Structure 1
């Protein structure tokens, strides 16, 4: 049968219209230009401006407004994914990696609907950065690899490869990192939109490569690459990049034992960090480590002051950030809460009648059980108290015998064998008696009752001050910022005795001239760091045999943790007590 040309034309037109309709349908799903687009654009631009000036709370408010307009999300896939990326960047920047991760993960189902491949690369890279911030290097590598697969420009690929190499560096997989970086270092990868980015990226590559060579004991190659990276960033005159360069050269001269240049680059690093308002605390810590002269005390005091300042400012910023975000959602949540409370009240009234009957029975049984428990606990406490008193008496008796018996005997011989009318002999006798009195007084204080009420902090500081002399300087940090009234009294006593034991060791067994104690409460824990510049713990010292065991036993009794580092020129103790 022969098909006429008219039928062919009609068939062609029907097919063409079907294809056009299919395309229009696809366009409707993936890139529909809906009525909210202009308003979304305005909120996003406002949020970007606020984010660029670090007004993060207001920026998040704007991005949330824009997200609320992306309904349905498929029709606004580009906008929805981009806004989640910007929100994720903010939380990543303030080091809230878990929140950033939860925000950005919402974009993953909509990547297939976006019309710009770069969005996928941005999302995967941000997820990788969050995992890196959480020290989950394996997952960070997985998502960096996904970002590399979706990246289009050679410059973006070079950036991601550099990030992957840096993670290999953290994992001590130096050969993998060097293979990647040496290939990148051969030729600069050009950013066609900004020539300055080309230089910065090349400086990053040389910096990472230099660190790899430093870790693999190739001093010549390490210094060559680290110096090239520094020279590039010096031309750019950006202090935020120079901080890293000076830090790497500080590490280089520290490893290869050049105190003069180590100190020089530590000073340069702190100067750049101060100007850039970035990594100041780390740079100052390196300067303290490198400094050996008269400025050491000044830098230590500055470090303590800066630590307090950063802690307070972070706390204030976090509180303000959370408060303003909460306020932006308050009206909507209050309406929902009112409805919820109404339904709960009606249900509560229905249940109240049945509860009243059950309540009387429960109260009677509870009172009987409580009475039995009180009697049992009192008997148990009485037994334990008697055992503790006996152990304490034995311990005090042993300590008196160990520390005083020799002094008493020597004093007795001095009085027996010498003429006490003689001025020198009389002076020795009085001095010996003073030593006995001092040791007896110390033992008494070590076993005296400790005030755990509002006077606890003053008692603790008073005990510490007794160990401060003309030769021993003691620095306290954070004691006034801790809410001591919220801490269990047994844990206060444990902390008091631990510090007492540490100071007794410092006074008796090492030659410390500077002691620093930092205390802070975070995550329902009390963290204490004790550092002195003494000669550490000797293998045959009494503190190693008894004092340290006493400390560890006290820590275990309150389910705490302790970590001790003893070197020839320092003694460090890290303690964590649950609050």
Structure 2
């Protein structure tokens, strides 16, 4: 405590000097609390005070040292995520600094801490990666660094052991144990390494040297001045070994020794001893130890949460420079957000305007199409009226010829026939000539009458419209054409919807022929087969690949129209020969 008091007095006197001295004093006090006392919250408090001043001074190396101290405390209190964050921040501060021995040494300690953190999180690949980085950095340091390199090797070995990569773990343990001087120079460390080596043999089912290695490690541990704490794990391993061998008495003996020693520290080692005894003991004793284990585990977890909350409250204290940095960051963030919002809003407005124009264009096209269809319907309707008037007029003329002219001619023929009773040869000859001529006239008039009165092909007006369309487009597109159709097709029985779509399909097909086929002639034909109209369009163009052309707008439009009238389309095309489009449209 005298040392703490003198350090605090140093802080008071440092206030009269400069910020750097104050920060250094806070750091020294934090280091003392971390290494020499169990008061981790006090250590964290002084680290944080030092951290704030170092940030103001932009002394990155001292700030990184402070963050490393914080990371170690966080790791010890099982705040592994917080420890990782502190380590990463410390490394980011060191990266721009030129590598000296001090920088390399600090980096090696930070990587070592990260390796332990990830081992505790059971992320062994990450742990191995960071331990190897620490090991590589230590090898670059000048002077004798064997002790610290050995620590990295043991940390690597421990991680490999936990990852169940026992051969690799044994290799690193052997590298350290091969140093014959180690048992005399660092007997406590030697005992811990030997115990871990023995435990790895146990886990890998290599029991030949056991329990001899355990006893050797225990003997060394008990012989040194600070015996006791280091022997807890060895006694636990012996209890585990004998329990596995079925020797319950020896298992209990060593387990209780481990428990008795660890009770002085009330930490994770006691927790492990209680759990081990709950497995070795039976009945009520096993239950008793298990209850003690659960109670202690809850207590330790609660204590860890309390300490982490203290850390959070300490972190909550912010310096003026941090507040200013936060404010600047907020202003920059808001500026960025507003800029992004304006850019996005402008882009969305552009999209809305563009889409609206497209919608108007589509609406115009749709209205134009509807207008075309209305005009076509009017054409069909007008044509039907003309055809009706024409038919009526033909019937009227036919009736007039039949009832008027033919009647009179028939009477004249009868009169002449009656005069034929004259026996004069000339009279008879003359009358016969007149009668013959009258018969000829009568036959001609009857023929005309019958032709005029014949029932013209129903719906022939639609064929006239098609003929007009084909003729007009063929002229525009410079095509020779041939239009063929069955007279037996009764277009009046076919709905206007189907006739409109047939009209548009022919129009689209002729347009496609002109645009893509490079044809010089086209045949358009209608046939009636199996209660369906078969429309064929044949050109002598260059042909095309049907599979590649399926996505074209022209074919899509044709397919859409054919689907509307429940039709079927079949296209055959050969390169340099031409294309045949065959469409079937059911009459009903």
> TM-score, normalized by length of structure 1?
0.48
> TM-score, normalized by length of structure 2?
0.47
The structure whose Rg is larger is 2
